[in-house]
Homo-oligomer: A and B are copies of this chain.
Amino acid sequence: MKNKVYIYDTTLRDGAQGVKISYSLEDKLVITKKLDELGVDYIEGGWPNKSNVKTIEYFKRVKELDLKNSKIAAFGSTRSPLNKVEDDPTLSSLLEAETPVLTIFGKTWDLHVTKVLKTSLEENLVMIEDSVSYLKKHNKEVIFIAEHFFDGYKYNPDYTLKCLLAAEKASADSIVLADTNGGTTVDEIHDITKEIYKTIKIPLGIHSHNDMELAVANSLAAVKNGFTQIQGTMNGFGERCGNANLTTIIPILSLKMNFQTIPDASLCKLTENARFIYDIANIPPNENQPFIGQNAFSHKAGVHANAIIKESTSYEFINPMKVGNSRNILVSEQAGVSSLVYKAKELGITLEKDDTKTRDLLFKLKELENEGYEFESADASLKLFLMKQLFPYKQYFDLVDFRVIVETKHLEIFSDATIKIKVKGVLEHTAAEGNGPVNALDNALKKALCKFYPSIGENHLIDYKVRVIEGTSGTSAKVKVFIETKDLKEVWTTVGVSENIIKASWIALVDSVEYKLLRDEQELKDIASSK
């Protein structure tokens, strides 16, 4: 029987303090479902105070969800020094949220009690005790968070301990020590949590911040000393440098330290879930993020990539499939011939390592990379490049000319693209509008092609990214455009580079179309040959 560590997710509350993060009500509900599916023990939905209409509505709506694994918690604080518990608006709004779990924070650092809260140290102890008691009387699971605990402990350990004892006396279900400012080292966490574990008899938890890149290590140090709850956020979202990253902590505890966290069967959903939350938050995923990042199991160095092909366990500390991620050998400047061979194989193309043709391909790829191309995240463009180089390639169409016009008329804006292409010997000249220049160009190209290749109508642009590549002294800046396209079967990414954003977009668009046509044609051939 494994020991259990309870995972308390605060992506929706503390995570939403992150710069650039702002969830709609629907976002919060969708994330709640995903977290429940993953199987975290607690989901903290927000602080339901009066001015926070969205959060109040969330707690109403969340009751309608049929959650399987997680308990919903509402967050707030101990009562104000000015109020009795019965009249305190914070406590009553907590109860009105009607969640099974209520989490309240209280001050434990004497400096904060007197300077920020502006009350006496004695009154603060009473506030903790009667706030917890009051909520417990309403049959709630009550979690008490000791805010700024570790900083407070360094200045006045006796007082911080009194705060915890007040919560324990009031029958809190668990006490969570918070390193609110994130300035505590692993050694300090180790020593202090060890000390507290001796004194406090109810379950203990930890809430860390990542201001010194130590939030994961600090959470694990507390677990080592008998703490059984970890508070954190998916992807480490949160204010400043973020909260403790649950997407890292969960697999370390489950796979490396033999604890029970989320259900074993859910662990392989971790990558998908974490990336989904990035999407909802509209934040580009951290590609280097442990366990779930696109690069977490990527191998670029020639020597490593070579070795991993020989012996996969020797360069990977876990099997990426356990967390739903996958290995990725990158074709890049530093990669040698063996990486290219491996990557091509992944794309369904057989290359021979000792063939001079393979070396030529590598050389040409590196030239394109020097121009600013980047194939690491544009597999479709890479595959197209390889196919064109290796096999007789029939051009699906030839561009004669295009023109894009974006103009205002009486301050309304219009985008219009005209396109002239030659398809199977026929000149097609057509035009289309769009809600922007690239959309207009995409519409016109599809319109010109659909007579000849009807399946092109299935293509749907789902993402468009632009990065400026600063030129070194003397050269002007280029833009790199990535286009993500979807049809009924898959999603693929193509890349274009140019000094002109429209041209770069055009190159990526053409790759996207050609990739689709080539793939469909190959599938037809495969069907024909199998008959």
B399 touches A407 (CB 8 A): no
The chain A residues found within 8 Å of chain B, CB to CB, are 16-20, 22, 24, 26-27, 109, 111-112, 115-116, 148, 151, 180-183, 185-187, 210-217, 220-221, 224, 236, 239-242, 245, 248, 252, 256-257, 279, 282, 286-291, 293, 295-301, 304, 307, 310-311, 314-318, 330, 332-334, 369, 374, 376, 399, 401-411, 413, 415, 435-438, 463-466, 468-470, 472-473, 476, 479, 498-503
A237 to chain B, nearest CB (A): 9
- 10 new A-B pairs (CB below 8 Å) besides A22-B332, A213-B248, A435-B476? A185-B257, A186-B186, A210-B288, A211-B296, A240-B299, A399-B411, A401-B408, A404-B407, A413-B498, A413-B503
- A295 contacts B240, CB within 8 Å? yes
Among B112, B282, B315, point to the contact of A470 (Cβ < 8 A).
Answer: B282
A280 CB, min distance to chain B CBs, angstroms: 9
Contact between A376 and B465, CB atoms less than 8 A apart: no
Asked whether B301 lies within 8 Å of A239 as measured between CB atoms, the reply is yes
Give the oligomeric copy count: 2
Closest CB in chain B relative to A3 CB, distance in Å: 15
Residue of B332, B415, B465 touching A19 (CB-CB under 8 A): B332
Picked from B115, B296, B402, B499, the residue with its CB within 8 Å of the CB of A314 is B115
Contact A279 B470 (CB under 8 A): yes
Known: A257-B185, A311-B115, A437-B501. A213 touches B290 (CB 8 A): yes
30 contacts between A and B (CB under 8 A): A17-B304, A19-B298, A27-B472, A112-B307, A116-B314, A151-B317, A181-B315, A181-B316, A183-B256, A185-B252, A185-B257, A211-B296, A212-B216, A212-B256, A212-B317, A213-B245, A213-B248, A239-B295, A239-B304, A240-B295, A241-B295, A286-B286, A401-B411, A406-B437, A413-B498, A413-B502, A436-B502, A464-B466, A464-B479, A465-B468
> Which residue of the partner chain B has the closest CB to A248?
B213
Given contacts A115-B310, A211-B296, A295-B19, contact A217 B186 (CB under 8 A): yes
- Cα–Cα distance between A375 and B408 once the two chains are bound (Å): 26
Tell me how far the C-beta of A54 lies from the nearest C-beta in chain B, rounded to whole angstroms: 10
Q: Which of B22, B220, B300 contacts A333 (CB 8 A)?
A: B22
Q: A301 to chain B: which residues have CB within 8 Å? A: 17, 239
Given contacts A245-B213, A295-B240, contact A401 B407 (CB under 8 A): yes
| Distance A472 CA – B280 CA, assembled complex (angstroms) | 9
Q: Which single residue of chain B is at the shortest CB-CB distance from A215?
A: B213
Give A47's nearest chain B residue, CB to CB: B303
Which of B220, B289, B293, B310 meets A185, CB within 8 Å?
B220
Contact of A116 among B307, B468, B476 (CB under 8 A): B307
Are A408 and B402 interface neighbours, CB within 8 A? yes
Q: Taking the nearest CB of chain B, how far is it from the CB of A355, in angstroms?
A: 18
List residues of chain B with CB within 8 A of the CB of A405.
403-405
